[in-house]
Structure 1
């Protein structure tokens, strides 16, 4: 670590306390003899391009001042390279930092990263069908065709109500009240959002293939997601898939509560008390999500990766050929 690009989400730079912390981090790195440049991410869509440009400009380390969403966008530009990425937690969830046992205080996290080691980390990949860009619209104003687009993810990706929750959390003041917004959005959606089924075709790490009709599917790469402990493994090239059989809103609420209450997860599933569905866990290599034939969907089922809602209806989740290097505290 000699020449460091410090990426800052401008949302955090607008707050006096965060701005002060970013200045302290830059000074801390410079006092350690490092060359540091602070760049704001221009937009979520451009962060990956900015990261690639930083690598071309000769930076040998990228540190991200932001939340999991900022990390997700930067990863799109560094995947497949050997440039290490460090996380400085400024966001709402900070799930990746949580799983690396980084301090919640970003200045203290920077101090820990000075004694860190880069670790090669496999990446998940989500592929969706998305419409062509607006500039490619037909004269009628409709997209000419659909195309496949892929994103890398580090923590989790999937389809179902949890993706709708990610979309709704901003409306519940995520930046102002933090993680509480997720719980408020979740309770609101359980009360009014129609729970719709979809199908998954799963290829397990043992090479078996099975199909399941579900209402939730989340492929996880980390041991913990806030209070939930699905048992993923960041350094292993596999997905820890959690699914809930197709059910209604109260069945999903019961399964979600039981998943949060457990301290560990096991492969397989069984009926819970009262016959309500449980969360089924499977170690997987590939998951195909698609609509149920002949089902009358009132709205498309949303898909997300690392908390970013990306599309709907169809998704393929697998392990990417590319990886990246993550700075872990010693």
Structure 2
């Protein structure tokens, strides 16, 4: 029986994520040691990757929802928490864990991550709503979404290789998907006059860093109310070298292989269907994306300490 005088967390956990410790026992012990009640434990399912469990947690009146899984689980939990007063905590269990990496949450120490979720500083960050092929209902993402090459990588990454070598499995998929033709793409930024590009990929970012500390969206911040758009258009046989050089220069330069735009909304349309991904989850193929920022609509817990200004605009709590 929950004690009405103590705070209580719910843990929305992806049960297929392997851990070396008994995660439920660890989280329960940390909660009790910190003066919280025993947590509500909710496991995701194939047919419900987290939204239903998060609604159940809110109905139970918990004080915090901890997403225990990869970026996909975090995204599904955030889809329900955005716009509410209930904060999100992260217990990273995935391969990428990109949001946790951007927020300096320990991806290798579950106890430290839970402590930060219970007691860390709290900020408000943006979420981005994305409508696919004019659908009325939207998904949300916190890190990035993409159409084209990057989505093909996500869809073609081998799960068995991820278990063996972690994020290097994405490199393997990237190399295998380098060949391909650019797609004629129409873009409209903040409702202005549309323009056209022939690109291999269009990506939208809410924060900038990926594995290895590489910043692919220079200056992107989680709480600035803005979305960063990047187009990738390699030219010729050595085109991908130009893309790589542009990324290493953090977008500085005039190479047309990479273009950046900053906006509150973006519309992307292709003539032929392209692969689509959001926060690492593939959504199949589509021809139209509409992205809109919902500024500072998600409360999130993170470690105390000064935050990297490349991640958050408000570097003090």
TM-score, length basis structure 1: 0.81
CA separation of 1:256/1:124 partners in 2, compared to 1, >3 Å: closer, same or farther? same
Corresponding residue for residue 304 of structure 1: 277
Q: Is 2:270 the partner of 1:270?
A: no
SS at match of 2:171: helix
Bigger mean CA deviation after superposition, 86-95 or 108-117? 108-117
Structure 1 residue 70: deviation in Å? 0.9
Structure 1 residue 245: deviation in Å? 3.3
Report the count of equivalent residues. 292
Structure 1 residue 265: deviation in Å? 3.5
* Deviation readout 1:88-143 (Å, 9 max, x if unpaired): 1111001001000111222222223333132221211110128xxxxxxxxxxxxx
1:13-92 paired onto structure 2 within 5 Å? 15=18, 17=20, 19-35=21-37, 36-43=39-46, 45-92=48-95
Q: Which runs of 5+ in 1 are unaligned?
A: 131-146, 272-276
SS at match of 1:114: helix
Corresponding residue for residue 258 of structure 2: 279
1:1-330 paired onto structure 2 within 5 Å? 2-12=7-17, 15=18, 17=20, 19-35=21-37, 36-43=39-46, 45-104=48-107, 105-129=109-133, 147-170=135-158, 173-191=161-179, 194-203=180-189, 209-213=193-197, 214-227=199-212, 228-229=214-215, 230-231=217-218, 232-245=220-233, 247=235, 250-251=238-239, 253-262=240-249, 264-266=250-252, 270-271=254-255, 277-292=256-271, 297=272, 300-311=273-284, 312-320=286-294, 323-330=297-304
Structure 1 residue 56: deviation in Å? 0.9
Residues 224 and 295 in structure 2, CA contact (< 8 A), matched pair in contact too: no
* Deviation readout 1:236-291 (Å, 9 max, x if unpaired): 1111111123746752x2244224433x335xx513xxxxx431112122221112
Bigger mean CA deviation after superposition, 175-184 or 163-172? 163-172
In 2, the alpha carbon distance for the partners of 1:100 and 1:161 equals 26
Structure 1 residue 38: deviation in Å? 1.9
Residues 234 and 257 in structure 2, CA contact (< 8 A), matched pair in contact too: no
CA separation of 1:103/1:123 partners in 2, compared to 1, >3 Å: closer, same or farther? same
In 1, the alpha carbon distance for the partners of 2:237 and 2:224 equals 33
Q: Which runs of 5+ in 2 are unaligned?
A: 1-5, 305-317
RMSD: 2.4
Structure 1 residue 66: deviation in Å? 0.8
CA separation of 1:16/1:284 partners in 2, compared to 1, >3 Å: closer, same or farther? closer
TM-score, length basis structure 2: 0.84
| Structure with greater helix percent | 1
In 2, the alpha carbon distance for the partners of 1:32 and 1:43 equals 33
Structure 1 residue 196: deviation in Å? 3.1
